[in-house]
Structure 1
Amino acid sequence: MAETIYLRGEGGGIHAMDLPLPEPIEERLRKGMLQRVNEDGTPYIEPSSEDATDAGKVPAPGAQVPGLPLTEPAKTAVKADWVGWAVVKGATPEEADGMTKADLIEKYGTPST
């Protein structure tokens, strides 16, 4: 049986999705256009192996958002990964998606020395 997750769409609706996600949905999740949430719409927190009791807590400001990258993508990564990174760094999903990959790397990437 497939695992079911819940995603908040661009319009705010909560949608049940079976894993694995279709590629277009997965790409929108990586870009930050969709958010993984609990069935009731509260923020989803990935349970850690250290303390599974924290699963229902709301993330602190600046905390990692499930589905978005923790580290800067490689320069050769796909644009969707760079859009997700730009969202982590404070851009809106729409703003980041409207930029070229080169612009995203220039604005949100670590400068080359």
Structure 2
Amino acid sequence: MAETIYVRGEGGGIHAMDLPLPEPIQERLTKGMLQRVNEDGSPYTAPADEEPTGVGKTPAPGQQVAGLPLTEPAKTANKPEWVGWAVVKGATPEEADGMTKADLIEKYGTPTSPSND
């Protein structure tokens, strides 16, 4: 039996969704356009004993909770992951989605130190 989560849509409605999510829904969740919530609409918080993505206790680059990343995505990650990271860092989903991936990395990524070659 599939796990069911609850998602608040753009219009504010709460929708029960079975995992895995359809790709377009997952992309909108990743970008922060949808939010994972509890059945009653309250903000979703993973239980303390639940792994965020089932992969270890330390989040790896790009790991997500409630659709938004816990850590900065890799530079090679896809644009929706960078949009989600920008939302975590304070951008609106619409603002972040309107930027290019390069702009998102430049504005919200950790600067790389120049090498002293």
**Equivalent residue for 1:39?**
39
In the TM superposition, 1:10-21 aligns within 5 A as 10-21=10-21
AA in 2 matched with 1:46: A
Deviations 1:48-70 (CA, angstroms, capped at 9, x unpaired):
118xxxxxxxxxxxxx9622111
The ranges of structure 1 where at least 4 consecutive aligned residues each deviate by more than 3 angstroms after the TM superposition are: none
Matches of 1:39 and 1:108, distance apart in 2 = 32
- Higher share of residues assigned helix: 1
Matches of 1:44 and 1:10, distance apart in 2 = 16
CA contact under 8 A between 2:7 and 2:35: conserved in structure 1? yes
What TM-score results when the alignment is normalised by the length of structure 1? 0.84
Matches of 1:79 and 1:91, distance apart in 2 = 14
**Equivalent residue for 1:60?**
none
1:111 and 2:111 correspond:
yes
Q: CA RMSD in A?
A: 1.5
Judge which range, 13-22 or 65-74, deviates more: 65-74
AA in 1 matched with 2:23: E
**Equivalent residue for 2:8?**
8
Matches of 1:71 and 1:3, distance apart in 2 = 24
In the TM superposition, 1:57-68 aligns within 5 A as 66-68=66-68
Matches of 1:17 and 1:65, distance apart in 2 = 16
Matches of 1:4 and 1:70, distance apart in 2 = 22
How many pairs are equivalent? Answer: 100
In the TM superposition, 1:24-35 aligns within 5 A as 24-35=24-35
